[in-house]
Each structure stands twice: as C-alpha cells, then as structure tokens.
Amino acid sequence: MNFKEELEKKTGEVEAVVKRYLPAQEGYQRRVLEAMDYAVSAGGKRLRPLLMRETAALFGEAGEGLSCFMAAIEFIHTYSLIHDDLPALDNDDYRRGRKTTHVVYGEDIAVIAGDGLLNYAYETALRAFDKAETIEAYQRTAHAMHILGRKAGVYGMVGGQCADLLADKPEAEVTKDVLLFIHKNKTAALIQAAMTIGAVLAGADEKAVAQIERCAENIGVAFQIQDDILDVTGSLEVLGKPTGSDEKNHKLTYVTMHGLEESKRQVEALSGEAVGILRTFPHRNAFLETLAEQLIYREK
Ligand code: FPP
Ligand code: MG
C-alpha cells in the first residue's frame, strides 16, 4: 500500500471512531446537537486523532481508552473552528468547502454548538476511565486528561488565540516572538496534546513524552506556517475556503514577517527535525514519519 492509500484507509478508520462518539440528535436541544453534528461531519483531515493513534502505535498498546481521546480532540478542534469563524472573530463564511456553522444555524446556535462540543469532548475523554482495567491504565488516563485540559486551555490553544486576537488590533506591536508564541499555542498545543496523549496512553516514559512534545511543537508550527503560505499561494477550489483572507484582514503572518521563501525553508527545517526525533525511538512508524514530512507538501 502506498502512503496515499494508507492515509485514506486510516483517515476512514479515524472518521468512524469520531462518528461513533457523536451524540444522537434528539430532545429539545436537538438544534444544537444538529449544529454540532454539522460542524464535525464537515470532514477535515482528522489530523489530530490520526497523529494521536499513530504516536501511540510508536510505543505499543494504548488500550480501549484511546478512541475516547481521539474523538475528544477532534471535538475540541471542531469547536475552535466554529468559534474562530464567528463574525466577532474571523468572520469566515466557508470552511472545509461548506458554509460555516453560524451561516447555516445562526450565530446564537453556533456559539453554543462550540460550547456543547467543548464540554462533550471532556465527557467523551472521561469515558476512557470506564475502559481502564488496571491501576496503570487509570493513571495514564488521568495524565492524558491533564494534558488535554492544559493544552486546549489558556496555557495552550485559548492562550494562543488570545494573543492572536490582540495582535490583530491596529495598535498592536507584533514581534517575531509574539508570532511564534501564537503559532506554538494556537496551533501547536493541540497537536502536542494529540501526540503526547497517544504516547502516554501507550506507556511511553517521561523522556520519550518530552521528545514527542518537542516533535509535535515542530509539526504544529510547521503546519501553521504552511497554513499562512497556503493563504497566499492556494485557491478556493483546493482549500475549500477563500484565500487572501489574512491579507484582507491585514493579518501579520509568518509570510508577511519572514517572506515566502524563508517561510518555506522554515517549514522544511521544522518538519525535518520532527521526523529526526521520530527516528530516535526503538520502534519506527514509517507512516507517521511520512505524515510529518507530508506537511511540507500539503496543499490544503
Ligand atoms: C486548521 O486545521 C486549523 C488550524 C491551522 C488551527 C487554527 C486554530 C484555531 C482556529 C484556534 C481557535 C481557538 C479558539 C479558542 C477559538 P486543519 O487544517 O486540520 O483543519 P481540518 O480539520 O478542516 O482539516
Ligand atoms: Mg480563521
């Protein structure tokens, strides 16, 4: 099987896991459940749960609880996209080739669909405790919960989003340091959560988890720089969302601060280092290595 076929097969498996944990659309809260379902079912690369599963595979058997965390992280990612697209934030009408949640369901329902997904993510992750059969599995699950909470919150994605929102103000002084903080937190933190949770659940030791955290940071920052690059070089047809939105919003990006060529060089350097780390472990996961590398050539 070549990489592309393997990626499709694995993405399909991840998709099935995510779908399995989506709540039924019923009751007087049906409307919000529909909006949550709409946002999650819009597809997407399922990169975070995929990275989680593949990182776990690098270290061994992660147990049943892994699937709960895979769904949870995709729910958190999706909530962040719903809120990010809102008129008060980026005001985007398209995402993943479809109308954004607030365009279809209205702003009020979109806000609570994001809230609903965030809460349901933790409910889902907590179900991993029901599947833990040993003290050790229990401890690993608790550790994974800590990582998820921290990396998705103010010391992770939400913190990065805050710095990003402030950087957008006309009076803001955005340095390269601030921009790197934004990328490390807004984007890389959730990728770090995905990969370190996979490692922790599969029993990786502290040193290995720290290395995975570093590897994931590189992948996340490279991923975000590539996002900035694609906003300049991509198209609506390929990306499923309008390009030039960073320029339209006068947004300072890696590309505007460092230039296109330097940005491309950075993506390659970061991906290279990330793959280098993955190669240091006793077991190898060729698929994961290629996936990290492929971020360089990503077109959407
Ligand atoms: C695209 O991911 C998403 C990013 C590059 C991350 C952007 C981060 C935010 C919007 C965080 C917002 C935070 C809050 C608190 C609102 P992707 O290419 O994997 O998207 P896909 O799932 O559609 O493939
Ligand atoms: Mg946005």
pLDDT reading at 240 higher than 80 = no
Instruction: Dig out the tokens for 181 from the structure.
Output: 């903080």
Q: What is the model's pLDDT at position 243?
A: 72
Provide the whole-model pTM: 0.94
**Residues in Cβ contact with 251 at an 8 Å cutoff, skipping those fewer than 6 apart:** 168, 245
How far is ligand 1, taken at its centre, from the CA of residue 135, in Å? 35
pLDDT of residue 249: 65
From the CB of 298, is ligand 1 less than 6 Å away? no
Could you tell which of 40, 82, 84, 195 is best to mutate to test the pocket of ligand 1, judged by most ligand atoms within 8 Å of the CB?
84
pLDDT in tens, 9-51: 999 999 999 999 999 999 999 999 999 999 999 989 999 999 9
Residue 247 confidence (pLDDT): 67
pLDDT tens per residue, range 103-125 = 999 999 999 999 999 999 999 99
Where does the pLDDT of residue 241 fall: very low under 50, low under 70, confident under 90, or very high at 90 and above? Answer: low
Radius of gyration, alpha carbons of the chain:
19
DSSP 24: P
How many Å apart are CA 71 and CA 201, to the nearest integer? 15
With a cut of 90, say whether residue 233 has pLDDT above it.
no
**Is the beta carbon of 80 within 6 A of some atom in ligand 1?**
yes
Residue 85, number of CB atoms within 10 A of its CB: 23
Q: Residue 299 has what pLDDT? A: 74
Per cent of the chain over pLDDT 90 is 85
Given a cut of 90, is residue 251 above it in pLDDT? no
For 46-97, the pLDDT digits (tens) are: 999 999 999 999 999 999 999 999 999 999 999 999 999 999 999 999 998 8
Does ligand 1 have an atom closer than 6 angstroms to the CB of 117? no
Question: What DSSP state is assigned to residue 280?
Answer: T
- 46 CB-near residues (< 8 Å, 6+ apart): 11, 14, 15, 18, 74
Whole-number pLDDT of residue 96? 84
pLDDT at 266 over 90: yes
Question: CB of 48 within 8 A of CB of 191?
Answer: yes
Give yes or no for residue 239 having a pLDDT over 70.
no
* Mean pLDDT value across the chain: 94
Q: Is 84 in the pocket of ligand 1 (CB under 6 A)?
A: yes
Amino acid at 259: G
Give me the percent of the chain exceeding a pLDDT of 70. Answer: 95
Which ligand ends up closest to the CA of 83?
Answer: 1
pLDDT reading at 252 higher than 90: no
| Residue 290 identity | T
CA distance 66 to 71: 9
Give residue 48 CA to ligand 1 midpoint distance, Å: 10
CA 298 to chain centre: 15
- CA dist 283 and 300 (Å) reads 30
Across the range 180-209, mean pLDDT stands at 98
- As a whole number of angstroms, the distance between CA 241 and CA 165 comes to 20
pLDDT-derived band at 147, boundaries 50, 70, 90: very high
Query: What's residue 53's pLDDT?
Result: 98
- 85 CA from centroid of ligand 2 (Å): 5
Looking at per-residue pLDDT, the higher value among 71 and 249 belongs to 71
Alpha helical stretches, state H, 30-167: 30-41, 47-59, 65-85, 101-105, 107-131, 135-152, 157-167
Ligand 1 atom 7 nearest Cα: 187
Q: Return the SS3 of 94.
A: strand
pLDDT-wise least confident of 106-115, 200-209, 231-240 = 231-240
